C-alpha cells in the first residue's frame, strides 16, 4: 500500500533529500539584548553571581536607571544563570523596584513618594499628594507610599533618596528642582568617639574569655530583656536555643522597621550605631556565628550609609558583617519572610515548625534579633540587671522606646519607663496635646496593636498588659488621635495598608484584608459580617500580618460603637 501524500510530506521534511532545505531555526525563549547585557555586566563587575544577591543587584539597576526594564531583567537572569521567571517574580514583589514591561513607557527619572500612612494622613498627606501630582511637572512622578518611618515629622515625602520632613508642596518641589535627592546624614557617635567612651571593651572581655558566655547570658536573663521588635521573646533564652543547635550557625538582624508609627530603630542607628554593632558582635560571638546579615529597610538610606561607613572602621577579626537592603515590603519584618528575602527571593512567610533557630537562613540555625534589642546589650551587661529593672512604673520593669506621633505637642522617640500609661506619656514626655486638640483615642502598638479610647488612659504600656483588651504593645508605636480625627477612618487607613502589604500567599489574609476594606468603606458597617471575617483571618492566616490586621477594626466595633453605627442606632 502506498503512503498518503501527507505522510510523504512529513517524511520528506524529516529527511530532506538533495535540493531540499531544512526550515530556518528560530531561537526559542526570551532573547538577550546585547546592550542591556553589557550594562548589567558592568554594574555587577566582579561581584559573585549568587542567588542570595539578586535583590542587591536589582537595586543596582534601579539606582542607575531609575527603573528596571524587561531587557535588563532578562540580561540579569542570564548573567546569574537564573530563569527569567525567578527574577521577574522577585522584582515585581517589592514596591521599590519599578519594573517596566515590554511596550510600556519609561518611568520619569525622578520619583516623589508621599507617605499616606495614618499619622501622615492625619496631618494632610492626601491633599499634599494631589497638589504635588498637579504641580510637579514633566520628568517627575508623584506616588503614594506606605509608612517611611518619619511619623514624628509628618507629613513626610521622599525625593529620590532624600526625605523632606514636615513636607509641603514648596519644600518638596524645591528639593526636587535643586537636585537634593541624596540622604542627609545626621550627627552621630562615630567609631573613635564610641571607643573613647569605653565602647567595645565588653566585646573584648567576652572574646578573651575574661567574661564567660554564661555570665553574659545570665545578665540578659536576670534583666528579662525581651525582643523589642514586637514579639517580646526573652533574648537570653533565644540565644541559648540557637546555641543548643548543631553548627554551623548564622545571625540575622531584623532592621525592617515597617510598622506604621514606628521609628525607634532609625533613631538609634542614626545616633549611636556602634552600640548596636557591639551588641550584634556580642550576639554572634555567643552563638558562634561566622556570618551576620543586617537587613535594613530601604526607607533608611542615611542609616545604611552610616552603617557602611562605620562597619568599615571595625578592626579585623570576628564574624563577617553583610549589609542587605530591603526593597519596600512590610511583610519582610516577619522573621521567616526576612530570611526568604535574604536568600534573594520573594518575602513569603514560611510554615512553622521548623523555627528559624532550628532551620533558618540557608537552612542553618539562625539567631534573629531586632536592632533595638541588640542596642541595649552593652548597657545591661555593664550596668547590671538591677539597673535595668530599676526603671519602670506600675509594677513593670525596664525601659521602653516609645515612638510617639499624632496630635501631641512634641512627637518623637521617647525613652520612658516600661509600664507608663499613655496619659503620663503625653503629659510628661510629649508636652501635652497639640494646641487646639483634645485627647480622643490612641494606638498603643502601631497599626496592628488595636485602638483604645481616651477613657482607657490608665493601662500600663508594656508586654502582657493590653492583650485582654484585644490590643498589644508590639514595637511601642503610640499614635495619638484627637476629636478632629475619625477613629473609623483611622481603622480603614490601616486596613488599606494591610491590604497593600499582604504578601498574597494565603487566602484569609489576601482576600480578607481586601473584603474588610470594602466593607469598611460603607457608610454603615455590617458588624456581624466584619466580625466573622476578622475571626477567619485570625484563625487561618499563615503569619502575624493576617492574624493581627483586624485588631483596629474589632477595636472600633468594641470601644467606639457610636462611630460605626448609624447616628440613630448609636443613640
The tens digit of pLDDT for each residue in 445-463 reads: 999 999 999 999 999 999 9
**Tens digits of per-residue pLDDT, 252-270?**
999 999 999 999 999 999 9
In the chain, the percentage of residues whose pLDDT exceeds 90 is 90
Q: What is the mean pLDDT of residues 356-383?
A: 98
Reported as a pLDDT band with limits 50, 70 and 90, residue 231 is: confident
- Tell the residue number behind the cell numbers 499634599, with chain if given: 128
Q: What is the mean pLDDT of residues 527-545?
A: 96
- Tell the residue number behind the cell numbers 562615630, with chain if given: 190
What per-residue confidence (pLDDT) applies to 211? 98
Q: What is the mean pLDDT of residues 342-360?
A: 97
Mean pLDDT (the chain) is 93
> Alpha helix (H) ranges present in 414-506?
422-424, 487-501
Say whether 49 sits in a helix, a strand or coil: coil
What per-residue confidence (pLDDT) applies to 551? 96
Task: Tell whether the model's pLDDT for residue 136 goes beyond 60.
Answer: yes
Strand (E) or helix (H) holding 415: strand 412-417
User: Among positive and negative, which fits the CA dihedral 392, 397, 401, 402?
Assistant: negative
- Tell the residue number behind the cell numbers 493581627, with chain if given: 548
Q: Are 216 and 286 in contact (CB under 8 A)?
A: yes
Indicate the pTM of the whole model: 0.93
**Tens digits of per-residue pLDDT, 459-482?**
999 999 999 999 999 999 999 999
Q: Which of 473, 444, 449, 464 is nearest to 548 (CA)?
A: 449
Q: 296 forms bridges with which residues in the sheet?
A: 255, 325
Q: What is the mean pLDDT of residues 381-407?
A: 97
**Tens digits of per-residue pLDDT, 268-326?**
999 999 999 999 999 999 999 999 999 999 999 999 999 999 999 999 889 999 999 99
Task: Please tell me the distance from the alpha carbon of residue 428 to that of residue 416, in angstroms, as a whole number.
Answer: 10
What per-residue confidence (pLDDT) applies to 178? 92
**Tens digits of per-residue pLDDT, 24-45?**
555 556 789 999 999 999 999 9
Side-chain-side CA neighbours of residue 142 (13 Å) = 21
What per-residue confidence (pLDDT) applies to 10? 40
Q: Which of 452, 454, 463, 484 is nearest to 418 (CA)?
A: 463
Say whether 427 sits in a helix, a strand or coil: helix
DSSP labels, 339-403? HHHHTTS--PPPPSSSPTTTS-GGGS-EEEEEHHHHHTHHHHHHH-HHHHHT--STT--SEEEEE
What per-residue confidence (pLDDT) applies to 30? 73
What per-residue confidence (pLDDT) applies to 565? 65
Q: Which of 370, 353, 477, 464 is nearest to 419 (CA)?
A: 464
Q: Cα 483 from chain centroid?
A: 30
Q: Are 87 and 80 in contact (CB under 8 A)?
A: yes
Task: Please tell me the distance from the alpha carbon of residue 432 to that of residue 435, in angstroms, as a whole number.
Answer: 9
Task: Tell whether the model's pLDDT for residue 4 goes beyond 50.
Answer: no
Q: Are 261 and 447 in contact (CB under 8 A)?
A: yes
What per-residue confidence (pLDDT) applies to 26? 53
Q: 293 forms bridges with which residues in the sheet?
A: 252, 322
In the chain, the percentage of residues whose pLDDT exceeds 70 is 94
Most confident of 14-23, 99-108, 415-424: 415-424
**Tens digits of per-residue pLDDT, 164-203?**
999 999 999 999 999 888 899 999 999 999 999 999 999 9
How far apart, in Å, do the first and last CA atoms of the chain sit?
95
What per-residue confidence (pLDDT) applies to 20? 53
**Tens digits of per-residue pLDDT, 543-565?**
999 999 999 999 999 999 987 66
What per-residue confidence (pLDDT) applies to 147? 95
Q: Are 419 and 393 in contact (CB under 8 A)?
A: yes
What per-residue confidence (pLDDT) applies to 25? 55
What per-residue confidence (pLDDT) applies to 563? 79
Strands (E), 29-183: 68-69, 99-100, 110-115, 140-145, 157-159, 162-164
**Tens digits of per-residue pLDDT, 118-131?**
999 999 999 999 99
Amino acid at each position: 500500500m502506498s503512503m498518503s501524500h501527507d505522510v510523504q510530506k512529513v517524511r520528506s521534511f524529516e529527511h530532506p533529500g538533495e535540493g531540499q532545505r531544512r526550515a530556518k531555526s528560530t531561537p526559542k525563549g526570551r532573547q538577550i539584548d546585547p546592550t542591556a547585557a553589557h550594562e548589567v555586566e558592568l554594574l555587577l563587575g566582579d561581584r559573585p553571581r549568587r542567588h542570595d544577591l539578586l535583590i542587591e543587584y536589582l537595586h543596582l539597576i534601579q539606582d542607575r536607571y531609575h527603573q528596571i526594564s524587561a531587557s535588563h531583567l532578562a540580561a540579569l537572569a542570564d548573567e546569574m544563570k537564573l530563569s527569567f521567571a525567578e527574577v521577574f517574580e522577585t522584582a515585581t514583589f517589592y514596591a521599590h523596584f519599578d519594573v517596566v514591561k515590554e511596550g510600556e513607557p519609561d518611568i520619569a527619572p525622578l520619583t516623589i513618594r508621599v507617605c499616606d500612612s495614618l499619622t501622615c494622613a492625619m496631618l494632610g498627606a492626601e491633599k499634599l499628594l494631589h497638589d504635588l501630582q498637579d504641580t510637579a511637572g514633566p520628568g517627575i512622578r508623584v506616588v503614594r507610599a506606605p509608612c517611611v518611618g518619619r511619623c514624628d515629622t509628618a507629613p513626610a515625602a521622599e525625593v529620590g533618596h532624600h526625605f523632606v520632613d514636615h513636607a509641603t508642596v514648596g519644600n518638596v518641589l524645591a528639593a526636587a528642582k535643586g537636585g537634593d535627592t541624596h540622604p542627609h546624614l545626621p550627627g552621630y557617635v562615630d567609631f573613635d568617639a564610641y571607643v573613647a567612651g569605653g565602647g567595645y571593651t565588653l566585646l573584648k572581655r567576652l572574646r578573651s574569655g575574661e567574661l564567660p558566655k554564661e555570665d553574659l547570658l545570665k545578665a540578659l536573663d536576670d534583666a528579662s530583656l525581651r525582643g523589642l521588635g514586637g514579639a517580646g521573646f526573652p533574648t537570653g533564652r533565644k540565644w541559648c536555643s540557637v546555641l543548643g543547635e548543631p553548627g554551623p550557625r548564622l545571625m540575622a538582624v531584623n532592621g525592617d522597621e515597617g510598622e506604621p508609627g514606628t521609628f525607634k530603630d532609625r533613631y538609634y542607628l542614626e545616633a549611636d550605631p556602634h552600640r548596636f554593632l557591639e551588641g550584634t558582635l556580642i550576639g554572634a560571638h555567643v552563638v558562634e556565628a561566622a556570618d551576620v546579615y543586617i537587613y535594613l529597610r530601604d526607607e533608611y538610606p542615611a542609616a545604611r550609609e552610616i552603617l557602611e561607613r562605620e562597619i568599615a572602621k571595625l578592626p579585623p577579626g570576628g564574624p563577617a558583617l553583610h549589609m542587605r537592603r530591603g526593597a519596600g515590603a512590610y511583610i519582610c519584618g516577619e522573621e521567616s519572610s526576612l530570611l526568604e528575602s535574604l536568600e534573594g527571593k520573594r518575602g513569603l512567610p514560611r510554615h512553622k515548625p521548623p523555627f528559624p533557630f532550628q532551620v533558618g537562613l540557608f537552612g542553618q540555625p539562625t539567631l534573629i534579633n531586632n536592632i533595638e534589642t541588640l542596642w541595649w546589650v552593652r548597657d545591661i551587661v555593664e550596668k547590671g540587671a538591677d539597673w535595668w529593672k530599676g526603671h519602670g512604673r506600675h509594677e513593670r520593669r525596664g525601659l521602653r522606646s516609645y515612638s510617639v506621633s499624632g496630635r501631641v505637642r512634641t512627637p518623637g522617640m521617647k525613652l520612658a519607663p516600661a509600664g507608663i500609661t499613655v496619659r503620663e506619656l503625653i503629659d510628661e514626655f510629649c508636652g501635652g496635646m497639640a494646641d487646639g486638640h483634645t485627647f480622643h483615642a490612641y494606638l498603643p502598638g502601631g497599626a496592628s496593636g488595636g485602638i483604645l479610647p481616651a477613657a482607657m488612659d490608665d493601662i500600663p504600656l508594656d508586654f502582657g498588659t493590653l492583650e485582654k483588651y484585644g490590643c498589644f504593645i508590639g514595637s511601642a508605636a503610640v499614635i495619638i488621635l484627637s476629636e478632629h480625627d475619625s477613629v473609623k477612618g483611622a481603622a480603614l487607613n490601616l486596613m488599606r495598608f494591610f491590604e497593600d502589604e499582604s504578601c498574597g500567599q494565603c487566602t484569609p489574609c489576601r482576600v480578607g484584608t481586601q473584603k474588610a476594606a470594602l466593607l469598611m468603606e460603607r457608610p454603615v458597617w455590617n458588624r456581624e459580617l466584619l466580625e466573622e471575617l476578622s475571626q477567619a483571618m485570625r484563625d487561618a492566616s499563615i503569619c502575624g500580618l493576617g492574624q493581627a490586621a483586624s485588631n483596629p477594626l474589632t477595636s472600633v466595633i468594641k470601644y467606639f460603637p457610636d462611630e460605626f453605627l448609624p447616628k440613630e442606632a448609636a443613640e
